[in-house]
Amino acid sequence: MSDLNALVEATKATLQRIADEFTPAVFASSLAAEDMVLTDLILRAKLPIGIFTLETGRLHKETLGMVDRIKETYGYDVALYKPETDAVDAYVKQNGLNAFYDSVEMRKECCRIRKVEPLNRALAGNKAWITGQRRAQSTTRAELAVQEDDAAHAMTKFNPLADWSEDDVWNYIRTNNVPYNPLHDKGYPSIGCEPCTRAIQPGEDVRAGRWWWENPESKECGLHVVDGKLVRIKAVSHA
């Protein structure tokens, strides 16, 4: 069993180093449990790290409600980045509202419009970005490093919770009374857009409910992928 206190201290040190050496930096929050841990650590320490989320237009109401919960709890306004209206309208007109069910290509194009393009705008002008990704989340993230060289965005990418387990996340949330998405109590360990996320059954992989109609190896939205490959080519070590 991992030592949660040691993990917390290591994560705090990583976040402080980001604030000291990589300003300006931003945290891309999905408003899920992992991201609420990082939100709590960043805002409690009053670190100069901006927090944003991608408001795709297809999120659960419970997920959007977390923006208000963060405001109520921490007095912080999470920045919302939305897709370009013209691009969404063109996709729907040409392919249909739910064309992402038809093929991996259609699904990835929807993700590109609703998530990847807004992400690029959110990251512009920053030296580093932070995610809540963990190695234990899926097979596609097994090689995740805490610090990576993100050549696609010409910046450094940090995954401060890479070493954390699911139990670590929830132990921190309960110990520190951190607000969390109520969908987690309804069988949703991993939460994305509403039509692309379902609750999982006991024993299933934590990301089994994401794009459940696809093969596991294709289950990335494109935020961490370039030319079909995970942007995880070069991990960066530091003393």
Q: Which of 119, 189, 192 is nearest to 157 (CA)?
A: 119
Q: What is the pLDDT of residue 9?
A: 97
Q: Lowest-confidence range among 2-6, 16-20, 32-36, 234-238?
A: 234-238
Q: Lowest-confidence range among 26-30, 78-82, 235-239?
A: 235-239
3 state SS of 114: helix
Q: What is the pLDDT of residue 213?
A: 83
- What kind and span of H or E run contains 129? strand 128-130
- Looking from the CA of 51 toward its CB, the CA atoms found within 13 Å total 25
For residue 237, pLDDT beyond 80:
no
In angstroms, the CA 126 to CA 120 distance is: 11
Residue type, 115: K
Is 111 annotated among the ligand-binding residues? yes
For residue 224, pLDDT beyond 80:
no
Tens of pLDDT, residues 79-102: 999 999 999 999 999 999 999 999
Mean pLDDT (the chain) is: 89
- What kind and span of H or E run contains 86? helix 85-95
Residue-range domains of the chain with CATH: 4-218 (3.40.50.620)
- When pLDDT is averaged across residues 172-191 and rounded to a whole number, the result is 95
In angstroms, the CA 147 to CA 110 distance is: 28
Residue type, 215: N
Higher pLDDT, 140 or 1: 140
Split at pLDDT 50, 70, 90, the class of 36 is very high
Instruction: For residue 109, count other CB atoms closer than 10 A to its CB.
Output: 18
In angstroms, the CA 76 to CA 56 distance is: 21
Q: What is the pLDDT of residue 2?
A: 57
Q: Lowest-confidence range among 27-31, 154-158, 194-198, 213-217?
A: 213-217
* Cβ neighbours of residue 118 closer than 8 Å, sequence gap 6 or more: 54, 56, 81, 82, 83
In angstroms, the CA 54 to CA 45 distance is: 24
For residue 58, pLDDT beyond 60:
yes
The two tokens of residue 110 are 């929807």
Is 193 annotated among the ligand-binding residues? yes
Asked if 39 contacts 74 with a C-beta cutoff of 8 angstroms, the reply is: yes
In angstroms, the CA 206 to CA 225 distance is: 20
Which are the catalytic amino acids?
221
**Torsion-angle region of residue 222: left (phi > 0), alpha (psi -120 to 50) or beta?**
left
Split at pLDDT 50, 70, 90, the class of 220 is low
Tens of pLDDT, residues 108-123: 999 999 999 999 999 9
How is the chain split among helix, strand and coil, in percent rounded to 5? 45, 15, 40
- What kind and span of H or E run contains 156? strand 155-158
Bridge partners of 173, per DSSP, are none
Q: What is the pLDDT of residue 136?
A: 79
